[in-house]
Amino acid sequence: MKQAFFASTAFALLLTACVTKPETTSGIKPPVAEKVADTLTGNRIDNYYWMRLSDEQKNADQKDEQTQKVINYLNAENDYLKASMKQTEALQEKLYNEIVGRIKQTDESVPYKDNGYWYYTRYEEGKEYPIYCRKKGTLEATEEVLLNVNELAKGHDYYSIAGLSVSEDNNLLAYAEDSVSRRRYTIYIKDLRTGKLVEEPVPNTEGEVTWANDNKTYFYTRKDSVTLRSRWVIRHKIGTPYKTDPVVSEETDETFYTGIYKTKSKKFLIIWAGSTLTNYYQVLDANTPEGKFKEFSPRERGLEYSIDHFGDKFYVVTNLDAQNFRLMETPVTHTAKANWKEKIAHRKDTLLQGIEIFKDYLVLSERANANTLMRVIDQRSGKKHYLDFGEAAYTTYPSINIDFDTELLRYGYTSLATPNSTYDYNMRTQERTLLKQQEVVGGYNPADFITERQWATADDGTLIPMSIVYKKGIQKNSNNPTLLYGYGSYGSSMSPTFSSTRLSLLNRGFVYAIAHIRGGQEMGRQWYEDGKMFKKKNTFTDFIDCAEYLIDEKYTTPQHLFASGGSAGGLLMGAVVNMRPDLFKGVIAAVPFVDVVTTMLDESIPLTTGEFDEWGNPKNPESYMYMLEYSPYDQVKPQAYPNMLVTTGFHDSQVQYWEPAKWVAKLRELKTDNNTLLLRTNMETGHGGTTGRFKVYRETAQEYAFLLDLAGIKD
């Protein structure tokens, strides 16, 4: 069957333009990319730089020769993947059906009340997209459909809605759509009284709309059309052409992004600007949208903070003399840093992530020992208490809390074994009410699974936390297929959360583990500092140490151990397989950031300039050499590599498709093994992959089939 497939005339013609087809031991012929030597900065030779296309080339109706050459290569890789995984097609179909079969198709979110209406989202059986609704006054009122995304998405291979925002008089709905997957959203305004769109749509925006209190003015953020950086905050008045909209703020520093929001009190409009290490704000009374925004405090490199308003003061969560952040307050009339007064002190062992403000209560979101915490403070009595969750590894977070004058905190809770749950918590009586828990169709019992928090020891003695889940009855006898996941960048913490999809692995005997490696903030701000810039290699060695722990503790062996990570976690995968390919049977690298040096040298690529404080600026010789030492693409060498599945999206704006495509081509050229190496390019999507409630699981089923096939699990 496989040989017959590759004998097809169409496939042979597809390859002719750019690839040859050497035999492998299986008889399947993988694409081999043409080598065209380009000399890059530092006298690096890149044989696959030709794969890079501009947006204009990708989107042109008539494809030029270079564009067609690249598309042919990517299509050849997709065909090779399909042929290589043909023996798993039945398994893929079974996985897809069981994954989708666990989803409650007719479902509805927990309603929340805002400005006299109850808002909620619901899904209908067989439909891919949500339906946004509201009811006036009570939940018994007639339903009003704000947007049926299923209707809007018709005719689109990719469709995403963002930024739903209703004016204060409840009459106008702003929303934004992206049908290309390039994160360039077009804003629409719908009159909810007539159901009709009003005005011409506004293109090339970040997708978020913030209404002023006059019900006729809104603000949005326009993107730089080349770098896609959010650069301009724009004011628009209903009834005027968007092309005449005035710019109220431009962020000229190319390392910063900007945007705008309204405070929970609805009293102030806040323009924000931020880079990796610095925040800056401007403030305006939301009742006077044509007024001039006032600087909150002068911009200061290294000063990070967030602000929210209550009464006659602003609350400020800041790292000012506080690595793990502390809470300050300042009068509305005097907001500069010199006026900030401490309300809650810094703690060395606990990271303050954010606050939720109520009339009589303050809720702190904290993080310590790799878990999220929630602390409630009675602002009248000063009494404090933590919510108790009773599991070793879990995730909790404030949900939608719009009302100030309430004793009820709405929060979410989940763990590797506990489905996503929404609670109302009475901050006075400390009673909690479960409003909804994610239903797993077909039945699910959390007691059938064991969750653990384990600690691996790094070479420098640092303890690295891991969250682990597996089905009861599994023995630590080294025979368990195990999937180790990691990220470790940008201070993003990988919290342990439930996945009904993951049950397809757990029910087949897999152990699943999250390595909370340095580069996130699971253990506080220092955890991030110790995994970035000139300490970035800690991220990779921590992951390796976690893998070795799982082997040493007899969860698994290298013959049964798999790894996965996406985006910056894909960089992690690339670095790890260069450093310790012997540890893993197979690896999935999703939208991987692997061509670190070349990308960070090119300031025209989206995200580059804003990330110099994360990775370093390779124009600095010391940064260049350090990045070069771990950049996965640059460090590919003649050695045996694990079985690998690499994924990307042709329209990805965050990690351009050519990074994984080049990486796979170079791996094919240099690797010394006969292991499987596959590249999947979704030609319709970008960084986030496929849209739709069910379509996405086709790709998940393929990834799981890749793992299960390697693990020798055929059903």
Active site (catalytic) residues? 567, 652, 687
Tokens of 508: 């087949």
Distance from C-alpha of 586 to C-alpha of 642, rounded to nearest angstrom:
5
561-566 and 482-485: which strand pairing? Answer: parallel
Handedness of CA 216, 220, 225, 231 (dihedral sign): positive
Closest CA to 375 of 393, 362, 391, 360: 362
Q: Which residue's structure tokens are 């989708």?
A: 100
Contacts for 207 with CB less than 8 Å, ≥ 6 apart:
162, 163, 176, 178, 183, 185, 187
What residues form DSSP beta bridges with 454? 466
What secondary structure letter does DSSP report for 520? B
First to last CA, the chain: 21
Tokens of 555: 């969860």
Per-residue CA distances from 283 to 255, 289, 335 (Å): 22, 11, 10
Contacts for 478 with CB less than 8 Å, ≥ 6 apart:
551, 554, 555, 556, 557, 560
Distance from C-alpha of 305 to C-alpha of 327, rounded to nearest angstrom:
9
Cβ(261)–Cβ(272) below 8 Å: yes
Please name the amino acid found at residue 61. Answer: D
Closest CA to 322 of 310, 309, 332, 337: 337
Distance from C-alpha of 309 to C-alpha of 314, rounded to nearest angstrom:
4
Distance from C-alpha of 345 to C-alpha of 328, rounded to nearest angstrom:
9
Helix (H, G, I), strand (E, B) or coil at 335: coil
Distance from C-alpha of 565 to C-alpha of 413, rounded to nearest angstrom:
24
User: How many residues are recorded in the chain?
Assistant: 715
DSSP string, 591-613: S----HHHHHH-TTSTTSGGGHH
Task: 334-340: list long-range contacts, CB under 8 Å, 24+ apart.
Answer: 335/283, 335/296, 335/297, 336/296, 336/297, 336/298, 337/297, 337/298, 337/300, 337/303, 340/316
Distance from C-alpha of 569 to C-alpha of 573, rounded to nearest angstrom:
6
Distance from C-alpha of 607 to C-alpha of 617, rounded to nearest angstrom:
13
